[in-house]
Chains A and B, each alone.
Chain A
Amino acid sequence: MSALWVAIVAVTLASAAIKAAGPVLVGGRELPPQVNAVIALLAPALLAALVVTETFGEDGHLVLDERALGVGVVAVALALRAPVLLAVALAALVTALARLFG
């Protein structure tokens, strides 16, 4: 088997196992309140971390580029109570324009 197929099979199995772990180990049972308190904070923590890495992360560096402008547009649009899809579409548009003229 070539290196590529080894990678494909291994990544598939590992990825499936990672996704299955939480549901199998945690699912269905009543958890202590401390654990629930931690789980409840996973969503805001994960979302915030994803925003930072996908806006400013680039090959192991922090960079300030057109993506930050687009994400800034979303922040302003949401502060003005724009619908989510409109805000996200505006972000893509502004980012594309900034790259075109930047």
Chain B
Amino acid sequence: MPHDHHDHDHPAHSPPQPDDKVHSYYQILGVALKELLIEKGIVTADEVRSAIEKRDQITPAHGAAVVARAWSDAGFRTRLLTDANAAVAELGYPMTTTRLVAVENTADVHNVVVCTLCSCYPRELLGLPPAWYKSRAYRARIVHEPRAVLAEFGTQLLEETEVRVHDSTADMRFLVVPRRPAGTESLDEAALAELVSRDSMIGVAVVRQP
């Protein structure tokens, strides 16, 4: 499928054009598919709208609430690490179509998550994946030079820290439980959740002391 008749550059993963106009054949194709599928009764416009609205409501705050609970409640932490699907459902975030595995960072082990083949991600807890997570560069490099990749994200690990890279699949997603920073003993769960970034739950960042 050559693109040599395009009159503008069209590199992979290019952001959408800023003028809101339709530039790509595939944008037109997407509109055509939606119209046809609605006309044939395979989907409804309401269903699509509702799916988009639900997706927009999921932010990394869901995952941060899970992490803050694990930091605050030893029983929940144990349940999260043994049966993450059941544990996150307790907080009202059911993941019914994929297995969820929570991996905990410790003084000795740092975990980081990728989907080398595509873009699988715990969307129910973190929302849609960031563009870099879907990029070829991240997917290619994180598995063989994780320390170099983490350094690009500003995360320097000690030489003796073991790095574990977890490759997601269509059936299995991972949530990193970052280390709770020192000096947060007096913070309640809501304040703790504020500290937990999306990137720390993917594993490319750590949670900083407030």
* A in complex with B: no
Q: Chain A residues in contact with chain B, CB under 8 A?
A: none
Q: Chain B residues in contact with chain A, CB under 8 A?
A: none
